[in-house]
A and B are shown apart, each in its own frame.
Chain A
Amino acid sequence: MVEKTEQIKGTSLWRDAWRRLLKNRLAVFGMIVLALMILLVAIGPIVMRLTTGITADYVPSQVDEGDLVHSFPPSLQHPMGTDEAGRDLFARVLQGGRISLMVGLISTLVSLLVGVSYGAIAGYLGGRIDNIMMRIVDMIYAIPYILIVIVLLSIFGGPNTPAFIAQLSETFGGAGNQGLSQIFLLFFSLGLISWLTMARVVRGQILSLKNEEFVLAAKALGVSTFGIIFRHLVPNALGPVIVYATLTVPSIMLSEAFLSFLGMGVQAPYASWGSLAADGIKNISIFPWQLIFPGVTMALTLFSLNFLGDGLRDALDPQTRKF
């Protein structure tokens, strides 16, 4: 008599990959740091306001109007010290982290939505359509992307803000909020260029997948072109897409920091890690904590994202590690 085995549960390739990922120490470290960072950035400012009453634009009471120096080194009350104006740096780093992470995530989301669909459609349809679609990508690629962003930011920044962005910032932050619409413009500009490489990555994957027999089998079952692309092909291409997406987040964050550092991106009263570092660098010899804390926080986050991306690549494509 054969005993009935316990419920047979499907093991997906995703679960296999997850198991491999958990064996990678650096990737696990990256995941933990990221999770903590996101948690801290998301609820940290709220907790701080409720417990100590300190907010990002809070000016400590001991700051005297007549004092020349408002920036204090780290203390128990201000773990990262205070900035030039005497505001708590820890609160500002958390606030800036919100914007930095958001820029990275939103742009990556755009690159996922636009890039994956664009690349998948071009790759699957092939022929002339593919040719036209990819030449468009090539053309946008040919212009240095930081230049596009700078041009976009300076054309549409300030009084020339496009209507839909003004609308967006009005919905979230009230009318005439210049700082906020500048941030939305930044999201938009970085999103606009972030999908290009993703489209190429996905197209390449789809090209090699579309001649697989299961695609023919799906066609023979009467599945539509849309269904074949998005139900059958895209899930198969998702491995490289996920890896590339995790590596896009830090690169976009770095671009944001770079732009803010140049003064093109996030502007006061809002802060991002890039703009905090830009403020800090002016006073590096006297108040080093102003640069060190935002810089270290950002570096830690970028390291973690890269570790996670590398770990995912190894986990999703086990062949590459065999030799």
Chain B
Amino acid sequence: MPAHYAARMAAFHMTNGNGTILSVTDLRTYFHTEDGIVKAVDGISFELKKGETLGVVGESGSGKSVTNLSLMRLIPEPPGKIVAGDIIFDGTDVRALPIDDVRKIRGKRMAMIFQDPMTSLNPFLKISTQLTEVTRLHLGHTKKQAYDHAVKMLETVGIPEAHERIDNYPHEFSGGMRQRVMIAMALSCDPELLIADEPTTALDVTIQAQILELIKDLKKRMGTSVILITHDLGVVAGMTDKIIVMYAGKVFEQAPTRELFATPANPYTKGLLKSVPDPAHEQGKELYQIPGLPPDVAHLPPGCSFAERCYRAEEICRTDFPPFVQVNEGHHSLCHFAKEVYEDSKTKSANDGSKG
């Protein structure tokens, strides 16, 4: 373990992991389209402590990616705009920073891994060119230093014969290897926050497991905080400390991972958990799915945006916007019936427990 990681780990243990690396309050990112204002992210708040992993779960179009692009100020402007909210990263308000200062944070202190490794690497540049660019830019490495560092990073992420493969072009790498390169690139400057936007969606299951294991391992070794965006609940279960569930640009539920899986307090989360295929599932029985489709975020109904698809929606859900209810320590749910759903889950999990 290089010396600076050790130093950071020491500092990390001294503060007992209580330091907050990222705090987001009431973030709103809107897109102005011909169809009206699309509220892709509409009032998101969360906090991430040093060394913690946060899972962001939701269907396609729920605002997961936009949230994370907003954190790095990567929203294309126009049509998008962060209209409100605070993004406090290690004491600095990212939203208020001039763009040149944001650029100094990107890739150095906050890094991102993208969904599709096939398109995230520049096809015309050698892997070495792309890997050395970051460290030369942020750490002021010379060509030689950067090259050696790049080889080391490729070894770290498990590319065999890294010193030979480094001068290859992206098209000579497989999907899994390219994702490893992306991770190497993101971790080159030893960032404090790593945002992984569906890092395994484009990969097959075995590679997926390897990549997740790699992120987990690197996180442990470097003490990096991670935001893991995914629509795969199986992925977040083993990886994260806490989870936020997003739907139509809002946080529907926020809870520690264990608690969210055991006692969900939101009908939407319950639906998501029920739709995960279970290997022990009776054969021939139809897999559960939440009825209907996610709503059009440009034209949201006045009430709860999930009401149309919810199994226990009542009149109030269609007319009034639900409150964000705290049901337990660190566990919140956006629902008129949060407490009731939570109690239901609790008795159910207690029953399951006694049965098992």
Contact = CB atoms under 8 A, between A and B. Distances in A.
Interface string A45-66: 0000000000000000000000
Nearest to B133: A223
Contacts of A216: 74, 114, 120
A70 B133 CA distance: 66
B39 interface: no
A8 B161 CA distance: 9
A11 B107 CA distance: 28
Given A9-B167, A11-B172, A236-B122, A220 B72 contact: yes
B137 A220 contact: no
Name, among A10, A213, A219, A223, the residue most crowded by chain B CB atoms within 10 Å (CB to CB): A10
Contacts of A147: none
Contact of B106 (A12, A222, A232): A222
Nearest to A7: B164
Interface string A227-253: 100011001101000000000000000
Name, among A11, A222, A235, A236, the residue most crowded by chain B CB atoms within 10 Å (CB to CB): A222
Nearest to A233: B122
A73 B328 CA distance: 106
A213 B126 contact: no
Contacts of B74: 216, 219-220
B257 to A, nearest CB: 26
Given A9-B167, A219-B106, A220-B107, A213 B124 contact: no
A218 B133 CA distance: 9
Nearest to A4: B161
A235 B123 CA distance: 10
A232 B124 CA distance: 8
B122 A214 contact: yes
B138 A13 contact: no
A277 B105 CA distance: 63
A305 B121 CA distance: 34
A213 B119 contact: yes
A206 to B, nearest CB: 13
B116 interface: yes
Contact of A11 (B111, B119, B169): B169
B122 A232 contact: yes
B119 A212 contact: yes
B208 to A, nearest CB: 19
Contacts of B124: 12-13, 235-236, 238
B165 A8 contact: yes
A319 interface: no
B185 interface: yes
Given A8-B161, A213-B116, A213-B119, A222 B105 contact: yes
Interface residues of B, number: 35
A220 B112 contact: yes
Interface string B86-111: 00000000000000000111111001
A231 B124 CA distance: 10
Interface in A1-45: 7-13
Contacts of A232: 122, 125
Given A221-B107, A222-B105, A213 B114 contact: yes
A222 B137 contact: yes
A10 B123 CA distance: 12
A168 to B, nearest CB: 36
Nearest to A236: B124
A219 B120 CA distance: 11
Q: How large is the interface on A (under 10, 10 to 19, 20 to 34, 35 or more residues)?
A: 20 to 34
A217 interface: yes
Contacts of B56: none
A221 B134 contact: yes
Contacts of B171: 13
B168 interface: yes
B57 interface: no
A214 B114 CA distance: 9
Contacts of B119: 212-214
B183 to A, nearest CB: 12
A235 B114 contact: no
Interface in B44-75: 72, 74
Contact of A220 (B111, B126, B138, B172): B111
B150 interface: no
Contact of B120 (A9, A13, A214, A222): A214
Nearest to B106: A222
Contact of B104 (A10, A222, A227, A231): A222
A77 interface: no
Given A13-B169, A217-B182, A224 B121 contact: no
B72 to A, nearest CB: 6
Contacts of A218: 122, 133
A222 B108 CA distance: 8
Contact of B137 (A212, A223, A238): A223
B123 A222 contact: no
B130 to A, nearest CB: 8
Given A8-B164, A11-B169, A221-B111, A214 B121 contact: yes
29 contacts: A8-B165, A10-B167, A11-B172, A12-B169, A13-B124, A13-B171, A212-B119, A213-B120, A214-B119, A214-B120, A216-B74, A216-B120, A217-B114, A217-B182, A218-B122, A220-B106, A220-B111, A220-B114, A221-B186, A222-B103, A222-B137, A223-B103, A223-B107, A223-B137, A224-B103, A227-B133, A232-B122, A235-B122, A236-B122
Interface of A: 7-13, 212-214, 216-224, 227, 231-232, 235-236, 238
Given A213-B120, A220-B112, A232-B122, 7 more contacts: A13-B123, A212-B119, A214-B120, A214-B121, A235-B122, A235-B125, A236-B122
